[in-house]
Structure 1
Amino acid sequence: MWLRTCLLLISLGVATPLMADTVWLNNGDRISGKIILLEGGKLSLKTKYAGQVLINWSDIETLSAEQPLLIRRHGLDSKHSERLAAAGKGMVRITDGTTETVPLASVTRLVPPREFLEDFTWEGNLDAKLDLQRKDDNSDEFKLKGDTRIEQGRWRQVMNGEFQRETKNGRVTDDNWDLEYDIDRFLTEHWFWRIGGEQQVDHIEFVEKQQIIGTGPGYRFWDDSLGRFDLIGQVNRIKFDYPGGDLSFRTYSVVWDYKRLLWGTRLEFYTNAEIHFPEISEIDYVSEGEVGLRYRLNDWARLSILYELDRIEAQAGDNSDESFLIGVGVGW
């Protein structure tokens, strides 16, 4: 009797973490996993046996979910649900204090809510480009670009880095790297304060080193399974080092960071930029920005397309530097 009771308790303890969301399809199939996102008519479901799968919302007969979800319906604001229960063909039962049965066709978005104070979250991307040309001129270009963010409680750390080297007929024509680190302290669910620094080193250009130290308030519009959008204002101190001297001055800047998952999380659109307004009359503004797409091949591999634009508008003339990155990368 004692052994049977122990085995029963062990089996219950093991079975509890295996509770999962369940989707019933119109053809009679049933799939179990964890709902990641419903967006654009596609449900992203993470399974143990097939990884992340995409299911057309119109192919689903009904579904159940043991996890809390944010639900958006046609013409209605998003609402919280404690759980979802199967309710017959084309219907689902929403429980959140009260119970309501609604048509699946009226549901346009499902997103697991993200707690403001989570113990630990970590995400990042690393993209690489290698371009070898053997024509009239032999040129080799290698570019490595990465970003990562770590959140724990009210603290968030953001790191970005880039390395680029290019040779042409055996002569180095581009050799530089850039490293940036920011730390954010959330004062409320949306407002935070940022302190950060950046260093750029170029072994080819006239300006050998650039250092930036800045601080200022930021506002997080949203950050969930669908994406994020941050807007930050900063006061910065910039220092340029060049042969024979250096130059330092203050700037005011605006920073944004936007990411949006599309096509059931298979495709990621993102853009981020920083615009500086220096306290010197010779320069009107300096902007650095990028926009790109990442296509998820599996849980970690990505195909990446990135466009970067750096621009300086000054009294002596304007200068722009454009670059493209098409390559492969990893994400976590």
Structure 2
Amino acid sequence: MFSRTLLCLLVASASSAALADTVWLKNGDRLTGTIKLFDGGKLLLETDYGGSIPLDWSKIATLESSQELLVKQSDTAGERAKTIQRSDDGKVILANGEAPKTVEMASIQQIIKPKPFVEDFVWKGNVDLALDYKRAESDTDDYDIDLKTQARHGRWRHNAAAEYNREFQDDVRTTDNWKAEYALDRFFTDKFFWQGRLEYKNDKVEELRRQRTIGTGPGYQFWDDELGAFSLAALANRSDYEYDTGRKDSFYEASLKWDYNRYLIGKTVELFSTGEVGRPLSGDADYSLDADIGLRYKVTDWASLNMKAERDVVSGAEGSLDSTRYTLGFGVGW
């Protein structure tokens, strides 16, 4: 019985070792784990003993991996290798079912895990929270909560976002607004999709009190992988504005909507931007802009520090709006 148990443990241990990726350093050290990605001169190796370890690419002699990885030697060209095999120092062997190919490690720009087009279910998102309390000649209390989440099931993608802002200066309310948005994407290919969206904004301070938008139009997904995503959608919208005077305005507009994020420095820093710029086809408004841009620094796999700039503009309408906000806070991602 003891022999059988020991044999099972040895087999399991050997299987785990066989499945582990291995990196050989130029100083003779050898590290095992799971290769997550290579980008920006850093190879990210996930280990049981040290968590995620970023390794300087110039310090690596060679490596091997039993998982399928996309190896890119330029911005546009990439090879899907079923395995990566060890070779001489400064080289690796890419095996994809055909004749193995030896490449110089210096020619490799990225290594990422390929993302299948149709996935059963993927859910990701983040919540950012910023609080600012200032006690001086002018007291300031500022609250900002931002939620963004996305769920993918087959060829359907659900996008939801919500935000709440509130600010007091010397007990006087200077900002008090919230907004919510839902968009549904239907992919026809791995790049092209059609989007339908609903958005509502409510402001208790500005002249423009309520904004309601419903729209639809085609979109294009430039990329969506381990390092980030970028998509554009050209929409035809119906918008309804309601002002503090009680007057209402309804019009149609054409808009361009974007959603961008990119991980940098071994996925420790994320650059992100979302927004929409539109031009009415009728009505009093000249154009509208609702956009944000920011950075997130990952403290752990789920926690991050973030800073963000937001711009909200409605030009030419009765209750013209032009506001800019800067926030610094803490976030949780999944």
Structure-2-length-normalised TM-score:
0.91
CA contact (8 A) 2:250 2:283 kept: no
CA contact (8 A) 1:124 1:149 kept: yes
1:232-252 CA distance string (max 9 Å, x none) = 011111112345343222111
CA contact (8 A) 1:51 1:299 kept: no
Q: Residue in 2 aligned with 1:62? A: 62
Q: Residue in 2 aligned with 1:130? A: 131
Question: By how many angstroms is 1:59 displaced?
Answer: 1.0
With over 3 angstroms needed to count, the CA separation of the structure-2 counterparts of 1:315 and 1:250, relative to structure 1, is: closer
SS of the residue 1:283 aligns to: coil
Range 6-15 or range 288-297, more displaced: 6-15
Give the 5 Å matches for 1:301-320. Answer: 301-314=303-316, 319-320=321-322
C-alpha distance in 2 between matches for 1:259 and 1:87: 35
Give the 5 Å matches for 1:245-256. Answer: 245-256=247-258
User: Unaligned 5+ residue runs, structure 1?
Assistant: none
CA contact (8 A) 1:70 1:80 kept: yes
Q: CA RMSD in A?
A: 2.6
Question: By how many angstroms is 1:47 displaced?
Answer: 1.9
SS of the residue 2:106 aligns to: helix
C-alpha distance in 1 between matches for 2:75 and 2:165: 48
SS of the residue 1:44 aligns to: strand
Range 9-18 or range 318-327, more displaced: 9-18
C-alpha distance in 1 between matches for 2:6 and 2:28: 37
Letter in 1 for 2:42: K
1:92-114 CA distance string (max 9 Å, x none) = 11111220222222212111110
How high is the sequence identity, in percent, across the aligned residues? Answer: 38
C-alpha distance in 2 between matches for 1:5 and 1:56: 41
With over 3 angstroms needed to count, the CA separation of the structure-2 counterparts of 1:6 and 1:23, relative to structure 1, is: closer
Letter in 1 for 2:177: N
Moved segments of 4+, more than 6 Å: 315-318
C-alpha distance in 2 between matches for 1:87 and 1:100: 11
With over 3 angstroms needed to count, the CA separation of the structure-2 counterparts of 1:126 and 1:189, relative to structure 1, is: same
C-alpha distance in 1 between matches for 2:177 and 2:7: 62
Letter in 2 for 1:38: F
Question: By how many angstroms is 1:194 displaced?
Answer: 0.8
With over 3 angstroms needed to count, the CA separation of the structure-2 counterparts of 1:150 and 1:299, relative to structure 1, is: same
SS of the residue 1:105 aligns to: helix
Q: Residue in 2 aligned with 1:298? A: 300
SS of the residue 2:173 aligns to: strand
Count of paired positions: 331
Q: Residue in 2 aligned with 1:33? A: 33
With over 3 angstroms needed to count, the CA separation of the structure-2 counterparts of 1:223 and 1:104, relative to structure 1, is: same
Q: Residue in 1 aligned with 2:273? A: 271
Q: Residue in 2 aligned with 1:46? A: 46
Letter in 1 for 2:64: S
Letter in 2 for 1:149: Q
Q: Residue in 1 aligned with 2:286? A: 284
Q: Residue in 1 aligned with 2:101? A: 100
Structure-1-length-normalised TM-score:
0.91
